[in-house]
Amino acid sequence: MEQIITLKSGVLEYPWIIRAYLLSRAETQGVELTPFMVLRGNPHDYWFLDGDFIDRGEID
């Protein structure tokens, strides 16, 4: 988990999966998160990311 959060996992999509999870949990709990400094925008807008992989939300 630490490697993913520090962007050292080697899988570009993993941080985006964690980001989506955190945003979802924060929304359901009514928590306002500090904006992300690195992972911004919609991952589907980045040609080099696998959007379907991110949408599945699974980390091996």
Model pLDDT, residue 41: 92
Quote the CA–CA distance of 43 and 47 in Å, as a whole number.
9
Task: Write the pLDDT tens digit of every residue in 1-60.
Answer: 899 988 899 999 999 999 999 999 999 999 998 888 889 999 999 999 999 999 999 998
Long-range contacts from 37-41, C-beta under 8 angstroms, 24+ separation: 38/7, 39/15
Quote the CA–CA distance of 5 and 19 in Å, as a whole number.
9
